[in-house]
Copies of this chain bind each other. A is one copy, B any other.
Amino acid sequence: MSLNIAAIREREQGERRVALIPLVAQRLQHLGCTTALETEAGSDSFYPDTLYKNTTIQSDVGTLLASADIVLAVNPPTPDMIARMRAGSILISFIYGRTHPDVVKALQAQKITCFAMEQIPRISRAQAMDALSSQATLAGYYAVLLGTVHMPKILPMMTTAVGSLRAAQVLVMGLGVAGLQALATAGRLGAVTEGYDVRPETKEEAHSLGAKFVETGVDATGQGGYARELTAEEKVKVKGVLSDHIARADLIVTTAAVPGRKAPRLIDAEQISKMKPGSVIIDMGAEGGGNCEGTVAGQSVQVGPTLLVGPVNLPSCLSEQASELYSKNILNLLQQIIKDGKLSLDMTDEVIAKTLVTHDGKITNDGVREAVEGPTPASAPAPAAGATPTTGSKG
Contact = CB atoms under 8 A, between A and B. Distances in A.
Interface of A: 16, 45-48, 127-128, 130, 133-134, 137-138, 141-142, 145-146, 148-149, 151-154, 156, 158, 160-163, 165, 185, 188-190, 276-278, 305, 317-321, 324-325, 328-329, 332
Contacts of A161: 127-128, 130, 133-134
A141 B154 contact: yes
A332 B163 CA distance: 11
Nearest to A47: B277
A162 B317 contact: no
A277 B42 CA distance: 11
How many copies the complex holds: the figure is: 2
Contact of A158 (B127, B137, B305): B137
A278 B320 contact: yes
19 contacts: A16-B152, A46-B277, A46-B305, A48-B277, A130-B161, A134-B162, A137-B160, A142-B154, A145-B145, A149-B317, A152-B317, A152-B321, A153-B320, A153-B321, A154-B321, A156-B188, A162-B332, A185-B189, A188-B190
B156 A324 contact: no
Contacts of A47: 277
Contact of A165 (B130, B145, B149, B321): B321
Given A134-B161, A161-B128, A152 B46 contact: yes
A329 B162 CA distance: 7
A324 B165 CA distance: 9
A26 B48 CA distance: 59
A129 to B, nearest CB: 8
A133 B161 CA distance: 9
A133 B159 CA distance: 13
Contacts of A130: 161
A149 B146 CA distance: 6
Q: Of A16, A149, A163, which is in contact with the most chain B CB atoms at under 10 Å from its CB?
A: A149
Given A188-B188, A190-B188, A45 B162 contact: no
A30 B276 CA distance: 27
Contacts of A154: 138, 141-142, 318, 321
A382 to B, nearest CB: 28
Contacts of A145: 145, 148-149
A77 to B, nearest CB: 23
A152 B278 contact: no
A385 B22 CA distance: 55
